A and B are shown apart, each in its own frame.
Chain A
């Protein structure tokens, strides 16, 4: 037993070195997803019923695709169309598109919490519809979305491990490689699990804390005295 832990120690830095790949990939996917999510929200809010339906349909289709399938579609599909695509980029793209669908749902559900009178009063001082969205509606949606977005990010962080399947050398991939070298999966996998857990747990605690703080002082708690 002790010897097995000892044989793992020299390889820890290999896993830790790959942590930045995991973080870079999750941030890239999240940022892309954020852009897509915000764009979909805007299009959906200001388009006619037909376009809104089409966007909803698109979101449903995207959300129905498993991440692994999405990564394969991009990584093996693009070359079939004549483009080579680096695996890191394929992973960021696939995660970003999927996350975009989820993030647009987050935004949409919170759009209802922003009163339409906020929109009316920004139109009233002479802003265009786009400016009202950009400066008044979206910042409020965003503020309310922060806890849900943090949770979405923790999901993305863990999902980076799926990029193993297309050969991205992120943290999980490296733990598998180390396992193969020392011929035991136990400690490398426990070790990466602990890292995922630590980051996700800290972020969830932060999300829960913010959730209570971000409701403009109009929270239900105040009314029911909770």
Chain B
């Protein structure tokens, strides 16, 4: 029901080396699709192909049934419906928090300033960014605040789906919680999400589906229960063992 993103046999090469090797997957409306996998396995590349920031060398990408990879389709028209949040926030450094969030609605959707401001205020409220920060510049904010503003910037475009590329992995541990909390709230509101993350706790509690990717291939895909607690493939098991290991470190006292 309600397929939002479909990735169909997609390949990507860098310098003659395949980094994504024939991946296919479907994200349906309301899905919280979590992608896990080791560093360098092609997760970011896959995610960036979903809004055609990276163009696949082979295969097709569909958004709500429209083939974005078709030469007749201008992906710029569809990117505004696909929000993306990056590992390093990438807020516009020369704009205040408020202008960052208003920017898309004004420049891309042609919204009037006062209308855009209302949208931006609602978006900032939804990610719990207090009024006191609205006129600050990104460099004056903590990493967690910047990432929440980045989420608000994407939400202000009222996207059909939100892509997240390791949104917490550049953050100090005490700041990851506030970002994950905002993402959980989004999930509760029914937002369709694709999330690349190493946060297995988040994956276990929020994901509707999980795909494990290794060396550019989907090794295994299924429900959180299937993938996290009874993986069938040896590679999945080995990866998860390494990850759980990280959680098991005992304090020394």
Binding site for B on A (CB under 8 A): 115, 117-118, 120-128, 131, 135-136, 139-140, 143, 216-218
Contact with A along B85-98 (1 / 0, CB 8 A): 01010111110000
Q: A126-B76, A126-B108, A217-B139 are in contact. Are A121 and B103 (CB under 8 A)?
A: no
Check if B53 is an interface residue, CB within 8 A of chain A.
yes
What are 27 A-B pairs with beta-carbon distances under 8 A?
A115-B90, A117-B88, A118-B93, A120-B53, A120-B90, A121-B86, A121-B91, A123-B53, A123-B76, A124-B83, A124-B84, A125-B79, A125-B83, A125-B104, A125-B153, A126-B76, A126-B77, A126-B79, A126-B104, A127-B76, A127-B107, A128-B76, A131-B107, A135-B107, A140-B94, A216-B94, A217-B140
Contacts of A123 in B (CB 8 A): 53, 76, 79
Q: Which residues of B in the span 16-73 have a Cβ within 8 Å of any Cβ on A?
A: 51, 53
Find out whether the CB atom of B107 lies under 8 angstroms from the CB atom of A124.
Answer: no
Expressed in whole angstroms, the minimum distance between the Cβ of A223 and any Cβ of chain B is 14
Complex Cα spacing A217 to B91, Å:
14
Find out whether the CB atom of B90 lies under 8 angstroms from the CB atom of A121.
Answer: yes
Contact residue among A126, A143, A217 (Cβ-Cβ distance under 8 Å from B80): A126
Expressed in whole angstroms, the minimum distance between the Cβ of A220 and any Cβ of chain B is 14
Contacts of A140 in B (CB 8 A): 93-94
Majority SS of interface residues in chain A? helix
Find out whether the CB atom of B93 lies under 8 angstroms from the CB atom of A125.
Answer: no
Complex Cα spacing A117 to B146, Å:
15
Find out whether the CB atom of A122 lies under 8 angstroms from the CB atom of B92.
Answer: yes
Interface residues on B, range: 20 to 34
Find out whether the CB atom of A125 lies under 8 angstroms from the CB atom of B94.
Answer: no
Find out whether the CB atom of B90 lies under 8 angstroms from the CB atom of A139.
Answer: no
Expressed in whole angstroms, the minimum distance between the Cβ of B7 and any Cβ of chain A is 18
Find out whether the CB atom of A125 lies under 8 angstroms from the CB atom of B140.
Answer: no
Contacts of B179 in A (CB 8 A): none
Contact residue among A118, A124, A143 (Cβ-Cβ distance under 8 Å from B79): A124
Contacts of A124 in B (CB 8 A): 51, 53, 79, 83-84
Complex Cα spacing A121 to B86, Å:
8
Expressed in whole angstroms, the minimum distance between the Cβ of A168 and any Cβ of chain B is 38
Complex Cα spacing A217 to B138, Å:
10
Check if B157 is an interface residue, CB within 8 A of chain A.
yes
Expressed in whole angstroms, the minimum distance between the Cβ of B47 and any Cβ of chain A is 11
Q: A121-B90, A126-B108 are in contact. Are A216 and B139 (CB under 8 A)?
A: yes
> Which residue of the partner chain B has the closest CB to A129?
B76
Complex Cα spacing A127 to B93, Å:
17
Q: A125-B104, A125-B153 are in contact. Are A143 and B92 (CB under 8 A)?
A: no
Contacts of B139 in A (CB 8 A): 216-218
Complex Cα spacing A126 to B109, Å:
9
Find out whether the CB atom of B108 lies under 8 angstroms from the CB atom of A125.
Answer: yes
Find out whether the CB atom of B153 lies under 8 angstroms from the CB atom of A118.
Answer: no
Given contact pairs A126-B77, A127-B76, a sample of 10 additional A-B residue pairs in the complex whose CB atoms are under 8 Å apart: A117-B86, A118-B90, A121-B90, A121-B92, A122-B92, A124-B53, A131-B107, A135-B107, A217-B137, A217-B139
Complex Cα spacing A128 to B53, Å:
12
Complex Cα spacing A125 to B83, Å:
7
Find out whether the CB atom of B80 lies under 8 angstroms from the CB atom of A125.
Answer: yes
Complex Cα spacing A124 to B139, Å:
21
Q: A118-B93, A131-B107 are in contact. Are A125 and B157 (CB under 8 A)?
A: yes
Complex Cα spacing A123 to B86, Å:
13
Find out whether the CB atom of A139 lies under 8 angstroms from the CB atom of B94.
Answer: yes
> Which residue of the partner chain B has the closest CB to A126?
B80
> Which residue of the partner chain A has the closest CB to B105?
A125
Complex Cα spacing A3 to B76, Å:
75
- Residue of B76, B77, B93 with highest tally of chain A CB at under 10 A: B93
- Residue of A118, A125, A216 with highest tally of chain B CB at under 10 A: A125
Contacts of A125 in B (CB 8 A): 79-80, 83, 103-104, 108, 153-154, 157
